[in-house]
A and B are shown apart, each in its own frame.
Chain A
C-alpha cells in the first residue's frame, strides 16, 4: 500500500496535522491510531479549560477533540483505528498490526510523528519503600476514574505538581476521596498557575514545595508515605520527615515524549526535550519526516499542540508537492535551491532550557515563525531576548516566567536578512 502522508497517532496533534495537510492540497492523508477512537489522551481529560486560544471558549477535552474529529471527517481524512505501528524504516515504510488487516506495510512519501508522550514512572524517581497496590501515575488514575468509572483510592497523596497531578487532585476530591497533600520536590510547581488555583487552592489542598516522598509503607496496599523536605540539591533534610497515612500515592512527575518508533527509524533526539531535533519546518534529520505536539516537546496547552501540528501538516504537504514537482521536472539537476540555502542554528542562553526548532532556514520559513521554549526556573520581571549573533533584535518584558508554562517568540522573515554568515539565533533571558 502507498500513501502520500502517514500520520502516526490520532490525538490532537495528529488530527490538526491531517487537516492542515488536506488544506495544503494533499488528498492522500492517513492517520494511524492504536486506540478505538481518535482524540488521544484528550478523551480522558473530562475537565474544562481546553480551546481558549483556538475556539475562544472553554471546552472539555472530549469536546475539543470532537471539534477536530468533525473537521477531519468533513475533509475525508482517512484513519485506521485499533492499529498499532510496530516499526517505521528510514525509507518510510510503516509496518502496522491490526485485527482486521493483520500485519501490513505502508510506503509513505512523508511521515508526521504525533505519538504524544507518557508519564514518568515511579522507577524513574527510584523512590524507596514497598511496592504495594495503590501507586498509580496520575494519568492511570485519571483513566480509572474518568473512563472506567472506578476509584483508585480514598485517601490520597500526590507526588509532583505537574498539570495532570493537579487536575487529579481536584477530580479525586470531587469523587469523594480525600487528597491530603501534593508534594513537589522543586521549589516551584511544574503546572499551570490556573491549575494550582482552581484545583488545589479552591479545595484547600496543601501544596508542599521542596518536599518529596522518601518512603512508601504497606505490604499489600499503600498504608502511608513519608514526606520530607529537601535541600537545594534535592536531598532529604533529616528531621523534616512526616508520615502521612493514605491508601493511594499518585505520581505526576513529568512527561516523556514517546519516541521509540522515531529512534528505531534513526530520528535524532534532543537530550533536553527527549523529542526530535527539528528545523523551521518541524522536519527531523530525516527529510520528509516531521514531528509535532508532545512527541516533539511537552506542551502546556493543547491549543499550542494544534497550532504546531498544523504547521507540521502544511510542511509535510509542501514536501510531498516538491517531490512531485521534482518528478515532473524529470529529475533535472536544478532543484537544489533548498539544499544550497543557508540554515542558522537556534541556540539557548541564560534561563532557556531548549528551543523548538533548533535551526532555521529563512528561505523556507513563513513570514512569521513561532519559536517555542521553556525556561529553567521561576524568574520575576525577566526580559526575553533574541540575538542574531551579537546583536539584540528583540526584547520583551515579562512579569513572570516559570518552567510550567511554555514561552514563545515570533520571528519575522523580513528580519532574517540581518543574520550574517556564521551567526546563530540565540534566545535568552536577561535581568535575571
Chain B
C-alpha cells in the first residue's frame, strides 16, 4: 500500500505538466501510467505545434489555455532545456470567396489576445515561403506560432517533477477507485499481474483517451471521450527546410485540412487526418489515410517529396463530447479532471499544469516549497554540440565517442545517460524519444541491436527482456 497526497493518473504531457507544477508544493505526489514510459499515448504522436491561439472560440478553455500556454512555452523551454522554436505559422486561403473566413480567424485571434497576426497576399506569402503552391490567394500569418518536441517537453517535465520528489509508477494500470472519508482508494495492476493499492487525498485525471473510463469509475455525471485518429507522414531531413513556418489550410477549403511543418529536429511533417475510432489503442496507419495526408497536405506546397518519407505514424486525440477542455474539480470532491485535451492541448499543457496544480493545492491548503528546483538540463547532444563541447564530453567520458545511431549521431554516452536519468528509459522507444537513436532515415535498422545490448547491460536484465514499448513487445528471443 502506498499513501500519497495527490495521485495523478496519466503520464502524458498533461499529467507530467501537472506533476511538475504540483511539485512546487509541500506535497507527497505520485503519477501512475499503464504504459511502460511517460509520453506513450497521445503525447508521443501529434503535430508538435505550439499554436498561437487564433483557432479556438473566444471564451473557451481551449482559447484561454492555448494563448497562456503558448506564451509560457519559450521560457519553459529555457528552464527545462527541451527543443522549441518560434517559426511562425500561416493559414492558407485558396480562393477569394473564402477570404472572409480568413478575416474571421484574424478577428478571433485578436479577441483571444494573439499578438502580431496579419493577412498576407498570395505573393507576400510566397515571398516568405517560396515552396508554397501557386494556388494560394492569401494567408493569415501568426509570428507567434512555434514548434516543440512533444517528447522533449513531456520528458523534461517528468524528470523535473521527479527531481522535485514526485514518484512515477509506470506499467501500473488503475482498475478501480473507491471514494472514502479521507480521499480515494485506488486499486492498480502492475506489470499486468501484481495487484497494488494506493491511497490518495486527491486524484487528478489526466488519462487522455481513457479519461472518461477513469472519471466514470467515480462520478455519477458521465463524460464521454472519443478517440480521434490522425495519421502523419514524416520526411527525411534533406527536405526539412522546404517550409520554415507551419503551414495550415483554411478549415473547410479541403475538409479539415492537413498541415505541413518543419519539426524542431529538422524533418518535415505532414498530417493529420481525422477519423474516430472505437478502439482507443488503434494507432494503425492506413493506405487511404497516408494517401490523403500527402494529397491534401500537398495542396499547400509546390510538390510533395513522397520519396523522402522515412516513417508514418498515427496518434489519437481525446475528443470530449463537450467540445472543450474539461479542467475542474468534478462532482466528487477531490477528484479533478483534466480531460478532453485534444488540440491545442500540447500548446496549452504548461498553462493547464499550472492551473490544475493551483486548484488542487488550494484544496489541500498546501504551501510552496522553498527548495523547488525549477531548472533541468537535458541529455548532452553530440549531434548539435560544437567541436569543443564534443571534445570536452569525450574527455570526461569516452562513451561519448562511441556512435551508436549514425543517422542522428547518437553516442553510447547519450544512451546510457537516458537510462540513468530520473524516470529513465527502459525500452527501445524510450531511448528513441530521449536521444533520437533510431529516429533517423534508417529508422533503427543499424542501431537497434546495439541499443538493445546497452539497455540490457545498464538495466541488468537479459536482452530477451528488452522491449520496444513494454510487456508484449519483446524484440528477440534466445536461441533454443
Q: Tell me the A residues contacting B by CB distance below 8 Å.
A: 34, 82, 84, 86, 95, 97-100, 102-103, 118-119, 121-124, 126, 128-134, 136-137, 139-140, 143-144, 147-154, 175-176, 214-217, 219-221, 236
User: Inside 8 A of B283's CB, which chain A residues have their CB?
Assistant: 130-131, 219
User: Inside 8 A of B463's CB, which chain A residues have their CB?
Assistant: 148, 150
Complex CA–CA separation, A100 to B476 (angstroms): 33
What is the chain A residue whose CB lies nearest that of B311?
A: A123
User: Inside 8 A of A214's CB, which chain B residues have their CB?
Assistant: 287
B395 on the A face (CB < 8 A): yes
Complex CA–CA separation, A130 to B307 (angstroms): 21
Q: Tell me the B residues contacting A by CB distance below 8 Å.
A: 233-234, 281, 283-287, 289-290, 307, 309-313, 387, 390-391, 394-395, 398-399, 401-403, 406, 409, 428, 441-446, 448-449, 453, 463-464, 467-480
Distance in Å: Cβ of A140 to nearest Cβ of chain B? 5
Distance in Å: Cβ of A9 to nearest Cβ of chain B? 12
Complex CA–CA separation, A149 to B448 (angstroms): 15
Give the contacting residue for B285; candidates A128, A136, A175, A221; CB below 8 A: A128
Q: Is the Cβ of A144 less than 8 Å from the Cβ of B449?
A: yes
What is the chain B residue whose CB lies nearest that of A44?
A: B449
User: Inside 8 A of A126's CB, which chain B residues have their CB?
Assistant: 233, 290, 309, 312
Give the contacting residue for A121; candidates B311, B402, B449, B468; CB below 8 A: B311
Give the contacting residue for A220; candidates B233, B312, B398, B470; CB below 8 A: B470
What is the chain A residue whose CB lies nearest that of B287?
A: A128
User: Inside 8 A of A86's CB, which chain B residues have their CB?
Assistant: 409
Q: Is the Cβ of A122 less than 8 Å from the Cβ of B443?
A: yes
Q: Is the Cβ of B401 less than 8 Å from the Cβ of A99?
A: yes
CB-CB under 8 A for A102 and B395, given A121-B311, A121-B441: yes
B401, B409, B453: most-surrounded residue (chain A CB, <10 A):
B401
CB-CB under 8 A for A150 and B234, given A34-B406, A121-B443, A121-B445: no
What DSSP secondary structure best describes chain A's contact surface?
A: mixed
A102, A126, A129, A215: most-surrounded residue (chain B CB, <10 A):
A126
Give the contacting residue for B310; candidates A34, A124, A149, A154; CB below 8 A: A124
Q: Is the Cβ of A139 less than 8 Å from the Cβ of B445?
A: yes
Complex CA–CA separation, A149 to B234 (angstroms): 33
Q: Is the Cβ of A103 less than 8 Å from the Cβ of B445?
A: no
What is the chain B residue whose CB lies nearest that of A98?
A: B401
User: Inside 8 A of B445's CB, which chain A residues have their CB?
Assistant: 118-119, 121, 136-137, 139-140
Q: Is the Cβ of A97 less than 8 Å from the Cβ of B446?
A: no
CB-CB under 8 A for A221 and B473, given A126-B312, A128-B287: yes
List 19 A-B pairs, Cβ < 8 Å.
Answer: A97-B390, A97-B401, A102-B390, A102-B394, A119-B445, A121-B443, A121-B445, A123-B311, A123-B312, A124-B310, A128-B285, A131-B313, A133-B473, A133-B474, A148-B453, A150-B463, A150-B479, A152-B475, A175-B479
Complex CA–CA separation, A150 to B465 (angstroms): 12
User: Inside 8 A of A97's CB, which chain B residues have their CB?
Assistant: 390, 394, 401, 403
User: Inside 8 A of B476's CB, which chain A residues have their CB?
Assistant: 144, 148, 150-152
Complex CA–CA separation, A134 to B283 (angstroms): 16
Distance in Å: Cβ of B49 to nearest Cβ of chain A? 21
B310, B409, B475: most-surrounded residue (chain A CB, <10 A):
B475
User: Inside 8 A of B467's CB, which chain A residues have their CB?
Assistant: 133
B233, B285, B399, B442: most-surrounded residue (chain A CB, <10 A):
B442
Distance in Å: Cβ of B480 to nearest Cβ of chain A? 6
Complex CA–CA separation, A381 to B403 (angstroms): 49
Q: Number of contacts between A and B (CB, 8 Å)?
A: 135
User: Inside 8 A of A130's CB, which chain B residues have their CB?
Assistant: 283-284
Distance in Å: Cβ of A428 to nearest Cβ of chain B? 26
Q: Is the Cβ of B402 less than 8 Å from the Cβ of A82?
A: yes
Complex CA–CA separation, A126 to B304 (angstroms): 14
Complex CA–CA separation, A139 to B446 (angstroms): 8
Give the contacting residue for B311; candidates A95, A122, A149; CB below 8 A: A122
Q: Is the Cβ of B478 less than 8 Å from the Cβ of A150?
A: yes
Complex CA–CA separation, A86 to B470 (angstroms): 34
Complex CA–CA separation, A98 to B395 (angstroms): 10
Distance in Å: Cβ of A43 to nearest Cβ of chain B? 13
User: Inside 8 A of A124's CB, which chain B residues have their CB?
Assistant: 307, 309-310
Give the contacting residue for B312; candidates A128, A137, A144, A236; CB below 8 A: A128
B387, B428, B464: most-surrounded residue (chain A CB, <10 A):
B387
Complex CA–CA separation, A217 to B472 (angstroms): 14
Complex CA–CA separation, A140 to B391 (angstroms): 31
What is the chain B residue whose CB lies nearest that of A123?
A: B311
Distance in Å: Cβ of B327 to nearest Cβ of chain A? 30
Q: Is the Cβ of A220 less than 8 Å from the Cβ of B442?
A: no
Complex CA–CA separation, A42 to B476 (angstroms): 22
Q: Is the Cβ of A219 less than 8 Å from the Cβ of B394?
A: no
Complex CA–CA separation, A308 to B446 (angstroms): 26
Complex CA–CA separation, A119 to B453 (angstroms): 21
Q: Is the Cβ of A128 less than 8 Å from the Cβ of B473?
A: no
Give the contacting residue for A132; candidates B289, B309, B468; CB below 8 A: B468
CB-CB under 8 A for A143 and B449, given A123-B309, A128-B290, A150-B476: yes
Give the contacting residue for A140; candidates B398, B448, B477; CB below 8 A: B448
What is the chain B residue whose CB lies nearest that of A105?
A: B387
Q: Which 5 A-B pairs have the closest CB atoms?
A: A220-B472, A123-B311, A99-B398, A133-B468, A150-B476
What is the chain A residue whose CB lies nearest that of B283?
A: A130
User: Inside 8 A of A131's CB, which chain B residues have their CB?
Assistant: 283, 313
Q: Is the Cβ of B449 less than 8 Å from the Cβ of A148?
A: yes
Distance in Å: Cβ of A120 to nearest Cβ of chain B? 9
User: Inside 8 A of A102's CB, which chain B residues have their CB?
Assistant: 390-391, 394-395, 401
Q: Is the Cβ of B473 less than 8 Å from the Cβ of A132?
A: yes
User: Inside 8 A of A123's CB, which chain B residues have their CB?
Assistant: 234, 309-312, 441, 443
Complex CA–CA separation, A133 to B468 (angstroms): 6
User: Inside 8 A of A132's CB, which chain B residues have their CB?
Assistant: 468, 473
Complex CA–CA separation, A103 to B391 (angstroms): 6
Distance in Å: Cβ of B75 to nearest Cβ of chain A? 33
User: Inside 8 A of A82's CB, which chain B residues have their CB?
Assistant: 401-402
User: Inside 8 A of A217's CB, which chain B residues have their CB?
Assistant: 284
User: Inside 8 A of A144's CB, which chain B residues have their CB?
Assistant: 449, 476
Distance in Å: Cβ of A251 to nearest Cβ of chain B? 9
User: Inside 8 A of A98's CB, which chain B residues have their CB?
Assistant: 401
Complex CA–CA separation, A124 to B287 (angstroms): 14
* 19 new A-B contacts at CB < 8 Å, known A132-B468, A220-B473: A34-B406, A84-B401, A97-B403, A119-B445, A121-B311, A122-B311, A123-B441, A124-B310, A126-B290, A128-B286, A133-B468, A136-B448, A140-B449, A148-B449, A148-B463, A149-B478, A219-B283, A220-B468, A236-B287
